[in-house]
Every structure is written in C-alpha cells, then in structure tokens.
Amino acid sequence: YYEAGCRYYVHKNWQKSKENFLKDIEATDRGDSYYFVGEIEKNNGNLDTAAEYFEKAVERKMTPKYRNLAYWNLIVIYESKADFPKTIKTCKYFYEVLGEASAKTKAENLINKLMWTENEDAKKEYEEGLNLKSKDYTAALQHFRQAIALDSSFLSPVFEIGMYYYTQNQYRDALSYFNQILYRIPFYGELQMLAGDIYFQEKRYSEAATAFEAALEYAFIDKDMKYGVLLKTATSYYNIGQYTKAETFLEQAISVKKGNLSPYLLLSAIQMQKNDYDGALHTLQAAYKIDSNNPEILYQLGLVYYNKNDNTAYQYFEKVYMQYRQKQKEIPPKYIKAFIVTAQYYYTTKQYSKVVELTTIVPENLRDESLSLNYARSLYMLAQYNEAIVHFNKFRLQDDDLLMLCRCYAFINDTTKAKEIVSNNYYNTNFINKVKEDKLLKPIYKEVQKQRETPVTVQPQPLEEQKDLPTTHESTTEPVHPQ
C-alpha cells in the first residue's frame, strides 16, 4: 500500500494516493504514511486535518527527511492560524531534540515580529534610542518612551527600558516593563526566565514558579540553564509548600545533571517532611555515591536512620563530626543537636573517649546541660578527675552525679571537699546510702558521722585585764585607740 500511495502521490492523484496511504496506516501505522496524508490534506486546503496527520506522523518512527518536513509544516500551519504558543513549542522541540538550528531562528523572528511596529515615526524614535544607548542612556530612554507614546503596541522599546532598569538592579521597575511584554507574549520563554529570576530574588515564590514553568515550556536554553531553572522551580514550589510539584521538578533536574547534589538534598528533605524515610534513604544513597564526604549528605543520612530508630544514624553523625574536626571549620548550628544525641548514645554505650572528643568540638555556649553532664561523667570514667570536677561544679547535681563528684575529690585526695559534700547532704538518705555502700567514700562518711556525733566543747577564754579609760575621754562615740 505504501509504495502504491507513493506512485499515485508523484502523479498528483491525491485521491488514490490518500486511499493507499490510509490502508498502509491501518496495516502498519507507518509514520511516513501519516506524513503524506498530511501533505495531501494541506494541498486540498484542509489545514486542521493536515496538522492532525503531521502531529501523528512525528509521534511515530519516520524517515528523517519526512520528519523534518512534517515539523516545518506544523510550524507554518500553527503560525498561519496565529497559534503562536504551539508554533514556539514546536520550534523548540525541533531545535532541542532534532538539532534544527533554523527552528530557533524561526522562533526568534516570530517574537521580534510580534514586538515590532509598522509605525514609521515610532521606529525612527526607537532606532535613535538604540544609537544613543552606548553613549547617553538617559537620552536613549527618552526616545524609547517617545516610541511607545507613538505606538503603545510597540514592545521593543518596552524591552529596552526594562533591560536598562534590570542592569541598574532596579528589579521592580524592570519587572513592570517585562510584564507589559509578557501580558501580550506569554510564550516569550527567555523573558519569562528573566522575570522568574526577579521574583525568586524577591522571594515571591508562587510567581517565580509560574514564570519558570513558562520558561521551561518556551525558552531555548542549554543543558546548564535548564538544570538551573528546574532547580529554582522546585525550590519555589518547596517554599510555598507544594511538595509534590517540587519533587517532580527535582527529579527532572536530577535527570538533566546527575552529578549535582543540590536536587538530591532538597528532594530528600521533602521526603523526610512527608515521613517517606525509605524514599529519602534511596535518594541520599544515590547522592552518597556522588560525594561520600559531603557533610550535608552524611547529616541527612543520619537523620533518616535516626527517624527509623536505627543506630546506624550515629555512624553518619560521627562522620559529620570528623569532617569538621579534620578541616577545623566552624560547625553549623543545625548539626549541634545531632552531636548531642550522638554523645548521649556514646555515653549509654560506654564509649567515653568519643563523648569527650565529640563534646570538645561543640562551643561551650552551644552545649546543653545533657551534653555537658555527659562530658563530665565521661571525664570521670576516664579518670580525668580534675577536669570532671570543673564541669560537675557548673550544675546543681542529682544524687548519682553528686556521688561521682564526691569520688573525684576522694581520688585526688581532697578529703576536705569530699567531707563537705557528704556533710552538706547528710540528711539526703538516698545519697548517704550510696556513700555508705561505696568503698572509697565509706571511710569519709564515717569521719563525718563521728564529727557530727562528738559534742562540741567550748573552752572558756581568759579575760583580759580591763584598762581604765583615759580621763580625757569621758564620753565619746568614737573608738578608743591605744596610745
């Protein structure tokens, strides 16, 4: 059927040709046959039907020559129907997927045509502005504004004014001009990207996401730029709480540049917020393969395992700590809590040297009471009694810690301080019972007990011989000083 259709087509027997191509479509679903039916419908003036066949043709396997012709036909038909969004999207696909550079030029020409004017006076003012732009921008702006006054639909001078404000970092003024263009040409992808960047800088994330999505749909951008726009789109949706949309764009960003960590980290953060710890673990493990020493990846892996009640968490938190110890860098505050729970784990598992090592990297003003006490207890367990005493004495201690402090003094032979603690807590039954059972402290307790049970005898003091007051000081409120 296909060969017969081609023969009839060459001889311009459109009816017979179409019949055979349709039979071939029914039999083989061949892309080239759809293309030829589209050409026949176009020749017959049926542009809508022709477009349908060209669209179906490019969705199927085709001869490259006919595929290119099908795309050009679609571009011409969409433009003739003033369906400019479809025209631009088709040019974009033709350029990005099939490498047809002229398709990009076609889209640029269409945008320029839509921004142009037929008003000769307005064109003259615009051209004057362009000539002055590099010499006197203030004068150029006057000509651009005059061009707009002569034809309000003339968008090229609007763009020039917007770009001037953009280069001066006057972003809101720039945006007001860019939006005049985007209102009329929403499929101007490159300008949507520029507007999205402004919204993003101003933390207007909802508007940024909308602009970036339009840029992704219409802008002719390379791989690096596409990755950046995808990441900003995802970040915008993340910041307005639309996590599902954010995940979609993050996954696209990862597919564009697999070696970049940022989308993995944001994606795992979203998955953790949704309590999807298995999903977060899968994402972070992929990131870990890219960079196994990145502290943020290690930290988030620790968080995932921690939320899964898996002690593997502490291995990753320790790796974060090691990164900062080796590089002697300041620790971000968000990591401190992870270090605290890791120190608690090390203490409960009797890894006292690790508790001490971990605590020393945390600035004292960022340590909570739990970490500081575990530090003091670990110092005690490691027989660093003098250091332990310093840190125990910073707090009002419970009985077990008080016992450790008392033992510290006993170990360094400061029995005076040890007796003082026992004496001050003599009526604390729980504490005293612990002291009595302690071989090191029991003798000290007995000494304190003995002192308390021995009555205190007050020895009489000999009276000093009273001296007569000098007669010259018969009455005075001042003290008498010896002569």
Q: For the domain that residue 43 is a member of, what is the CATH number?
A: 1.25.40.10
Same domain, 8 and 108: yes
The reported pLDDT for the residue numbered 476 is: 34
Domain stop point among 185, 215, 231: 185
Is residue 302 one of the residues assigned to a domain?
no
**What is the domain extent for residue 416?**
396-448
Stretch 268-294: mean pLDDT, rounded? 94
Q: How many domains does the chain have?
A: 3
Residues 6 or more apart in contact with residue 163 via CB below 8 angstroms: 174
Stretch 244-270: mean pLDDT, rounded? 94
Largest CA distance in the chain: 155
Q: For the domain that residue 160 is a member of, what is the CATH number?
A: 1.25.40
User: 19, exposed or middle or buried, with CB in 10 Å at 0-12, 13-18, 19+?
Assistant: middle
193, two tokens = 């990207």
Same domain, 20 and 96: yes
Same domain, 105 and 132: no
Is residue 138 one of the residues assigned to a domain?
yes
Is residue 55 one of the residues assigned to a domain?
yes
Inform me whether the pLDDT recorded for 466 exceeds 80: no
Is residue 42 one of the residues assigned to a domain?
yes
Is residue 271 one of the residues assigned to a domain?
no
**Four-residue CA torsion sign, 13, 39, 30, 68:** positive
Same domain, 10 and 85: yes
Inform me whether the pLDDT recorded for 482 exceeds 50: no
Residue 479 DSSP label: P
How far apart are the C-alpha atoms of 270 and 247, rounded to whole Å?
8
Same domain, 52 and 136: no
Same domain, 401 and 431: yes
pLDDT range class, residue 470, cuts 50, 70, 90: very low
Is residue 154 one of the residues assigned to a domain?
yes
Domain stop point among 59, 89, 114: 114
Same domain, 20 and 73: yes
In the predicted model, what is the mean pLDDT of the chain? 91
Same domain, 53 and 154: no
pLDDT range class, residue 332, cuts 50, 70, 90: confident
Same domain, 91 and 170: no
- Give the model confidence (pLDDT) of 306-331 as tens digits: 999 999 999 999 898 888 777 767 77
What are the two backbone dihedrals, phi and then psi, of residue 77, each rounded to the nearest 5 degrees? -65, -45
- Give the model confidence (pLDDT) of 101-123 as tens digits: 999 999 999 999 999 999 999 99
270, two tokens = 């979203």
165, two tokens = 């404000």
Is residue 121 one of the residues assigned to a domain?
yes
The reported pLDDT for the residue numbered 461 is: 55
pLDDT range class, residue 456, cuts 50, 70, 90: low
The reported pLDDT for the residue numbered 258 is: 86
At position 387, the amino acid (one-letter code) is E
- Give the model confidence (pLDDT) of 414-428 as tens digits: 999 999 999 999 999
How many Cβ atoms are within 10 Å of 276's Cβ, its own excluded?
Answer: 16
Same domain, 52 and 82: yes
The reported pLDDT for the residue numbered 459 is: 55
Kindly report the length of the chain: 483
The reported pLDDT for the residue numbered 407 is: 96
Inform me whether the pLDDT recorded for 244 exceeds 60: yes
How far apart are the C-alpha atoms of 99 and 115, rounded to whole Å?
26
CB 291 within 8 A of CB 297: yes
pLDDT range class, residue 91, cuts 50, 70, 90: very high
- Give the model confidence (pLDDT) of 209-239 as tens digits: 999 999 999 999 999 999 999 999 999 999 9
Candidates 171, 243, 225; CA nearest to 202 is 171
Q: How many alpha carbons fall within 13 Å on the CB side of residue 471?
A: 0
Same domain, 67 and 83: yes
Is residue 272 one of the residues assigned to a domain?
no
**Four-residue CA torsion sign, 335, 339, 340, 342:** positive
Same domain, 132 and 73: no
